[in-house]
Amino acid sequence: MTFRTELSITKSANKLHYDDDIMTLGSCFSQHIGDRLQKYKFKCISNPFGTVFNPVSIANLIHIVCSDIVVTNEELEKSQGMWVHRDFHSSLSDIAIDVACDKINSKIKEVRNHLSTIKYLFVTLGTSIAYCHNTDDHIVANCHKLPLSNFRKTNIDVNAGSDALLSAINMLTARNPQIHIILTVSPVRHIRDGLIENSFSKSRLLGMTEMLIKNSTHISYFPSYEWMMDDLRDYRYYDPDMIHPNSVAIDYIWSKFEHHYFTDHVKQLINKIDSIILAAAHRPLSPSSDEHIRFCKNQLNEIQKLQGEYPYLNFDEEVNKFNKMI
C-alpha cells in the first residue's frame, strides 16, 4: 500500500555548475535555497534585497536593477526612528537618512554589476496579497510599520502579476540573454489573511507562473510548493508555528533540488565540501593533541587539493579555523 502521493519530475536540462553565477530573489524560501547554495560554495547572491513576497514588488526590484535608477533621500520615509524605502526590506534601513540611501544604492549597484554574468535567477513568489500606498496606488514591498491608514490591501490578479514579471524579465534578458529564471511558489502559508484567502492567493501565483512559462523560453518552474503540500502533507514537517517548513522539510526539498539541477559530479563535489565544513565545525576533546593537529593538517591538504582543481571555491573560513588549531 502507498500512504502518500510522491511527486516525481524529469531532471532539468539546465544544470547548475560551480562556475555559474546564481542569484535568488523573493520570499524566505529563496533565502533558504540561496543560503544552502552559499554554504556549499556556489557563487550565489542570496536575496540581496531581503525577503520580498509579492510578484509586483519583485518585478519592481528587477526593473530598478536593469535601469539606471538611483534612489534619492526624498523617496525615504521615517518609521519608528528609522529611514525606510517602500520598495526595499528593513535590513536596508538606518537611523541616518544618508546611510539608508547609501545602503540601498550600494546593494543596487552590487547586483547591477553582476547582471551580465548571472546564469540562473531563482525567484520565489510568496503571496499575491499586497498593500498599495494610498497616495499613488503603488504596491509596496514592505509597510515598515507605518500607519495602516497609509495603505489599502489588494489582490494582485493573474494578468497584472504575470505582466509585471514578464516586463521585468524581458528587461533582464535584454541585458543578459544567457540568464535562465527558475520560478517557484513558496510553500509557506500566509494565513494571517485567512486560510481560504491564502489558497486563492497561491492559486493566483500558480496561474501567473503558468502564463510566464508559456510566454518566455527563459523561464522554468521548480515545484517546491507541490512537494510540501502534496508530497510531505503532514504537520510533522512544519515548525511549531504550523506555517513554516521545518529543517526536515527544507532538507527534503533541497534533495529534490539537487536531483533536479545537479550532475552526479557536482553532487560528489558537494559531499566533499560538506565533509570539510563538518570537520571545521567539529569540537575536539583535546585541541592540542597530536592526533587533532594531524586531523587539521589533513583537512588543509584536502582543501588545497580541491582548490587546485576548482580555484573558484572559497574556503577562507575553514582554512582560518584549521590554522588556528595547529
Tens digits of residue pLDDT in 18-44: 999 999 999 988 999 999 999 999 999
269 CA to centre of own chain: 22
Q: Is the pLDDT of residue 326 over 90?
A: no
- Looking at residue 35, its pLDDT comes to 95
CB 242 within 8 A of CB 187: no
Task: Read off the pLDDT of residues 75-133 as tens digits, 9 standing for 90 and up.
Answer: 999 999 999 999 999 999 999 999 999 999 999 999 999 999 999 999 999 999 999 99
Instruction: Give the rounded percent of residues in the chain with a pLDDT score beyond 90.
Output: 93
Cell of residue 67, nine digits: 535601469
CATH 3.40.50.1110 placement within the chain:
21-262
- Looking at residue 68, its pLDDT comes to 86
User: Which segment of 86-90, 134-138, 188-192, 255-259 scores lowest on mean pLDDT?
Assistant: 188-192
Report the candidate in 207, 231, 209 with the shortest Cα–Cα distance to residue 220: 209
The CATH number of the domain covering residues in 21-262: 3.40.50.1110
